[in-house]
Amino acid sequence: MGRLLVIMFTLLFLSGCASTSTPGDPLESVNRKSWYFNYQIMDKHLLKPAAEGYEYVPLSIRNGVTNLLSNLSEPLYAVNNLLQGKVTDSGSTVLRFVLNTTIGLVGIFDPATGMGLPKKEETFAQTFGAWGIGNGPYIMWPVYGASTARNTVGDFVDIFVYPLSILSFEQRAGKFVVEGLDSRIEFQQYEPILDGSLDPYGYVKDVYLQRDAHLVNDGQTDEIETDEFDLEFDMELDDELLGDEPLDNELVDEQPLDIKTLETKPLNNQAVDDKPIDDKPIDDKKVDDKTHFEITD
């Protein structure tokens, strides 16, 4: 308990570095080096090949392993739902854990979802956010990946909740690896988008922070902040497609469209009818000295 209190005070100190819900990136130079190691070295040469190999394991077996590991976190979800004042969700999570642990064979199967008890994931990182504790600086940890000061401490506190607290280091490492492989398999569909981005590091940071805000607010994100981000993203996309030089709107604005000029006017048929058509043959010599023939009847 003493260590947990120290961690909590550390969290409050680190979170004080950021006064808003969107952290800055004061560690960007270090974070980018960690990002390069994670994606260009570790992922390319280790995680991606391992995930591709793991895909050959039958899906039913992979789902069973994923369900079992997820079931170990149900008590954690129950505690954090309660800490956030979600008493009903906390109770349903406890019932879900009991059903999946017994009927579902220690969580290999998930009968609770079919009984109308869906998963209610809430971690200490989300609870701290719901309590109004700021993110703190954005951190790209080697191997572990994207996080913030608040989420890093929250993830560490998670392991003190039973039954995660009784797992050995090797068992925790195995859980971390399997969950990482599952995440890497899911990530494959987004890989072309990341590789095509002008700044993959910035793209991952933006996506992570948006997802984190979504989880903390239970999907109720600030509409204004979302619109501002969408506008910024659209502007970046325009720069990508059109280049760095902005359009010269002055050329367009100097001469506004005059609707009157679009009004149609009747033809002056009198000017046409006054002179009858002359059907005499055309002498091309009078038209063009270089012409060597005449058109006659």
Q: Tens of pLDDT along 114-139?
A: 999 999 999 999 999 999 999 999 99
- Is the model's pLDDT at 282 over the cut of 90? no
Q: Is 261 inside a domain boundary?
A: no
Angle at 212 between CA 207 and CA 218, to 5 degrees: 125
Distance CA 25, CA 138 (A): 5
Q: Is 92 inside a domain boundary?
A: no
224 membership: H or E segment, kind and range: helix 223-242
- Is the model's pLDDT at 50 over the cut of 80? yes
Q: Is 276 inside a domain boundary?
A: no
Distance CA 47, CA 145 (A): 12
Mean pLDDT estimate for the chain: 79
**For the chain, what percentages of helix, strand and coil (3-state, to nearest 5) are there?**
60, 5, 35
Contact 7, 156 (CB under 8 A): yes
| Token pair 């492989």 in the structure block, residue | 181
Q: Is 161 inside a domain boundary?
A: yes
Q: Is 141 inside a domain boundary?
A: yes
Give helix 74-83 / helix 87-102 axis angle, nearest 10°: 170
Cα-atom radius of gyration of the chain, to the nearest Å? 33
Distance CA 274, CA 269 (A): 9
pLDDT of residue 20: 40
Q: Is 66 inside a domain boundary?
A: yes
Distance CA 161, CA 72 (A): 10
Q: Is 283 inside a domain boundary?
A: no
Q: Is 295 inside a domain boundary?
A: no
Contact 93, 79 (CB under 8 A): no
Q: pLDDT tier at 277 (50, 70, 90 boundaries)? A: low
Distance CA 266, CA 78 (A): 80
- Percent of the chain exceeding pLDDT 70 equals 66
Distance CA 117, CA 95 (A): 8
Estimate to the nearest angstrom the gap between the alpha carbon of 138 and the chain centroid: 15
> What is the maximal distance between C-alpha atoms in the chain?
115
The DSSP bridge partners found for residue 141 are 145
Q: What does pTM read for this prediction?
A: 0.68
- Is the model's pLDDT at 17 over the cut of 80? no
List the domain range (segments joined by +) for residue 143. Answer: 2-73+121-242
Contact 136, 149 (CB under 8 A): yes
Total count of domains within the chain: 1
